[in-house]
Amino acid sequence: DARFQPLSLTRARRQRLERIRRLVDQGAILPPVELYKLRDEYYVIDGNHRVAVAKENGQVEIDAHVIELLPGGTRPEDRLYLARRAFVGETGLHGVEVSQIGGYERLQEEIAAHRLSLAAEGKGQPTLREAAADWYRRRFEPVARMLAARDLPRRAGRTAGDLYLDLATWRAANSREGSGMTWEEAVAHLEALYPVPSLCERLAMAWAKLTDGARALLPGGRREPLPCPHAYAGPDGAIYCLRTGRLTRHQPPSPPARGAESTSP
């Protein structure tokens, strides 16, 4: 089960659990458990009883040998996972998440530029991880706090990393045009794109989402996939989107023209 307790507690399993509990109480060092890692999830190959006792004791860490299974990298989600894995491995930053292909590479370029700027400021030759930590503290974290204070990740339906990249792009474009834009101005511009929905709009969205879920359970209910995770079907049969925080209508696809219908038998 979720506590790694055997679903069928036979006598042998009970005795093994008791033996491991005694060893832990005596301060014995147990052998590492064997795990498979698939993306961000771990699966126990050997050591379920040791994990069960560790969870009983409120233990948050355990010695383990981990075999990581990497995806092939052909699907977009696989490419994104591998890019994040490489980003974390090189920078040590676990708290930055993006959902767009190429996003982690852009962040790595920005961190590399930040590393050069630190050297130009006479701060020695920082390692990539040192530069990444400084970039996170001085650049990303303050912007992420501004975004969170305005609830923009939820209102936009995107991660703080995605929004940070948008803001950085706007600032770079304004700089090329000769008019600078501060981070505060960029965040204010972003906030204007995602206005807070009114109470009536929030109630309408909640009701439409509820009725769409109920309709899908009925015979003949909606079964076709929605265009994005933020979409839902309204009571009028049209599809609406939550990304902007307002009822933005997506017109359902038009039926094919009569002349375009297939004439094959």
Q: What is the mean pLDDT of residues 61-77?
A: 86
Write the burial class of residue 34 (CB in 10 Å: 0-12 exposed, 13-18 middle, 19+ buried).
middle
- What pLDDT sits at residue 35? 92
For 116-158, write each residue's pLDDT tens digit: 999 898 878 899 999 999 999 999 999 999 999 999 998 888 8
Count of CB atoms situated within 10 Å of the CB of 27: 6
Tokens at residue 49, please?
């009883």
Where are the chain's structural domains?
A: 11-69, 76-193, 199-250
For 187-244, write each residue's pLDDT tens digit: 998 898 888 777 776 777 677 777 766 666 666 555 555 555 555 555 555 555 554 4
Tokens at residue 8, please?
């069928």
Least confident stretch, 100-109, 177-186, 248-257: 248-257
Tokens at residue 52, please?
């069960």
CATH for 11-69? 3.90.1530.30
User: Measured in whole angstroms, how far is the alpha carbon of residue 172 from the centre of its chain?
Assistant: 26
